[in-house]
Amino acid sequence: MRLILFQRDDCRLCDEAIAVLAQAHTPEFASVFIDESAELEARYGTRVPVLREDESGRELDWPFDVDALRAWLNG
């Protein structure tokens, strides 16, 4: 499972999402900052942070807690 966290620089909500990922012992994930990409900004600009499972394309939008994250990871 390859996970990507789409986020922004200096984003308090993104920092909170990373804390939830740590609490849930989420497998390793890549961080992608959308600030420099017009395409990613258009897609995720109002939604960040967003966790994406790359193979299936499933996405989990903020807000999420540990229980919601674990359910999504197992779903």
Task: Say which CATH number the domain at 46 has.
Answer: 3.40.30.10
Domain that holds residue 47: 3-74
pTM over cut 0.85: yes
CB atoms under 10 Å from CB of 69, counted, come to 18
DSSP 57: -
What is the number of structural domains in the chain?
Answer: 1
Mean pLDDT of 15-40: 97
CB neighbours of 75 closer than 8 A, spacing ≥ 6?
58
Q: Is the pLDDT of residue 75 over 80?
A: yes
* Relative orientation angle of helices 12-23 and 66-74, to the nearest 10 degrees: 70
Q: Is the pLDDT of residue 23 over 80?
A: yes
CB neighbours of 61 closer than 8 A, spacing ≥ 6?
47, 50
pLDDT averaged over the chain? Answer: 96
